[in-house]
Structure 1
Amino acid sequence: MCRWAAYLGDAIFLEDVIAAPSHSLIVQSSQAREAKSPTNADGFGVAWYGDRPEPGLYRDVLPAWSDTNLRSLGRQVKSGLFLAHVRASTGGLTSRANCHPFVSGRWSFMHNGQIGGFEKIRRALENSLSDTLFEQLEGTTDSELFFRVMLGEGLAQDPQGAVSRATGRVLEAARRAGIEPFLKLTAAFSDGRALHAVRYATDDQAPTLYTAAFARGVGRCIVSEPFDRDGRTWHEIPQSSFVTMTRDTTSIRPFAPATSRWALAS
């Protein structure tokens, strides 16, 4: 599955996470240690926040280790909030539209995991979207569709509740399709102010998630797997947890699926 890293704090160069550390995200694209496969070569992407509300976005289908533009971008771009992702596809073509992060207005989203039986419930999930959200779909991944479902469940007003209801919607769609619900959800998302993350799986085997203070206390990062083991204490986020990180605080709360408005209306 995929690897990702997110950062919130004082502005740093992107390369400080994606390239400079001994086990940076670029290294993890070919040598991941805590994923089923060490190789994450189906594209990459970075979303970062600057002076404007909407994030900047750079994605491509090349493996992260082979894209010199990514290294150059990392040396020049500074941000106090960014999300970076290297992809190992569990479904969907290798295309720029299928690379994470995905964006909508102020929001950016990236995911490590999968929706089991996705092709059997995809149409039902798409049909539950508003016309506006359906028209925003660019790719074919379960990850992007889950993000649009989150938006429809009130992400702007209630981030944790929206993810909880979106999770419930996926599980309900699987039950209606006559298949055993299966979801692995380790994701990060942001509106440019706070950074949120969730770690959940129906089989209690969610992909890994860690957090740590950044060097010299300038901020905090949250990652799929540590990008170094030297001079930094990494804390594993428990399964079934929801994380909210601001520039001043980090909270970790229990997470569980909830009944979505879609299920209630049926």
Structure 2
Amino acid sequence: MCRLLAVITPKDQELSQTLGTSLQSFRSLSQVHCDGWGLAYWDSHNELVCHKRPESALHSANFDEAVNGAHTDAALLHIRKASPQMSNEVANTHPFVSGSVAFAHNGWLYPQQPLEDLAHAVHAPAPMGDTDSELFFDLILAHLRNSEPVAALHAAIDSIRQSQVDYLSLNCMLLTDDSLYAVECWDPAAVERKGDPVDTFALRYLVQDDQALVASSGWDHDQSGWNTLGNGHVLQLHRGDLRSTIHRDLLQDGHQG
């Protein structure tokens, strides 16, 4: 699977300084999650920038250059461990970007054909690569045409849960020009069958005066005060003022946010 990390600050600043030692702790996960890395962020001109490579971040000069060059108030990082039978190439590397939206996923959806059918039914954009994750993003994009992000996330997830698509995890992060949305949504039975630790797909978040962080498990968090989001919930972190909103009960049919 993959690992996720995002940060929001009140104003633009150097990303490497914002994350501090947390960046190295997160990066060290690339020893296992070694199939790619990606970074999406809003720059000082309020343009959405994305850098990604199908390589391990652990000793990547490209990763260093991308992170050290990022001056931002909102960033999303992803390190990839490819799902079975998924190729390791740029088109399959997260985050995926469309217009003013960036997306990264941690999980596995299968089989792929019914997922493609779902995307086709709502006239979703055509994917550039061949991953289940990008199809999930395209499904969300289709619902974003007529819905705000929380409702679009729920509509996409609800359609998956009511289809013939099985999933291990739908954990994802969506970065827009207004907010960061972090989704924790995983199947406990599937995680148990796979033999993963129960906290594999737990998302944790920390909101302070000078920054808000949300991250996957598996690495040492420097600060105390981290909270667990909870399965079926969406965390919204607002750009600018760092307001946090938790949208609960995502797994209940008919949820409106």
> If the TM-score is normalised by the length of the shorter chain, which range does it land in?
0.7 to 0.9
More displaced, 185-194 or 103-112? 185-194
3-state DSSP class of the match of 2:206? strand
Does the alignment pair 1:103 with 2:104? no
1:89 match: 82
CA distance in 2, matches of 1:219, 1:19: 12
CA distance in 1, matches of 2:252, 2:145: 15
Does the alignment pair 1:27 with 2:28? yes
2:4 match: 4
Does the alignment pair 1:169 with 2:163? no
CA contact (8 A) 1:212 1:233 kept: yes
CA contact (8 A) 2:35 2:80 kept: yes
In the superposition, relative to structure 1, how do residues 223 and 108 fare at CA in structure 2: closer, same or farther (>3 Å)?
same
Match runs of 1:164-203 below 5 Å: 164-174=154-164, 181-203=166-188
In the superposition, relative to structure 1, how do residues 14 and 41 fare at CA in structure 2: closer, same or farther (>3 Å)?
same
**Runs of 5+ consecutive residues of structure 2 not aligned to the other structure:** 192-199
CA distance in 2, matches of 1:219, 1:258: 33
3-state DSSP class of the match of 2:35? coil
In the superposition, relative to structure 1, how do residues 250 and 165 fare at CA in structure 2: closer, same or farther (>3 Å)?
same
AA aligned to 1:253 is H
How many Å apart are 1:218 and its aligned residue?
1.3
AA aligned to 1:232 is S
Tell me the number of residue pairs that the alignment of Structure 1 and Structure 2 aligns: 241
CA distance in 2, matches of 1:160, 1:19: 30
Does the alignment pair 1:143 with 2:133? yes
In the superposition, relative to structure 1, how do residues 144 and 17 fare at CA in structure 2: closer, same or farther (>3 Å)?
farther
CA RMSD of aligned residues (A): 2.5
CA distance in 2, matches of 1:7, 1:256: 25
TM-score by length of 2: 0.84
Percent identity at matched positions?
22
Match runs of 1:1-266 below 5 Å: 1-9=1-9, 10-16=11-17, 20-21=21-22, 24-30=25-31, 39-91=32-84, 92-115=86-109, 117-130=110-123, 133-135=124-126, 137-154=127-144, 157-174=147-164, 181-203=166-188, 207-213=201-207, 217-225=209-217, 228-246=220-238, 247-254=241-248, 255-256=250-251, 258=253
TM-score by length of 1: 0.81
CA contact (8 A) 2:115 2:160 kept: no
How many Å apart are 1:156 and its aligned residue?
6.8
CA distance in 2, matches of 1:187, 1:72: 25
Of Structure 1 and Structure 2, the greater strand share is in: 2
AA aligned to 2:26 is L
2:197 match: none
In the superposition, relative to structure 1, how do residues 209 and 154 fare at CA in structure 2: closer, same or farther (>3 Å)?
same
3-state DSSP class of the match of 2:34? coil
CA contact (8 A) 1:53 1:106 kept: no
**Runs of 5+ consecutive residues of structure 1 not aligned to the other structure:** 31-38, 261-266
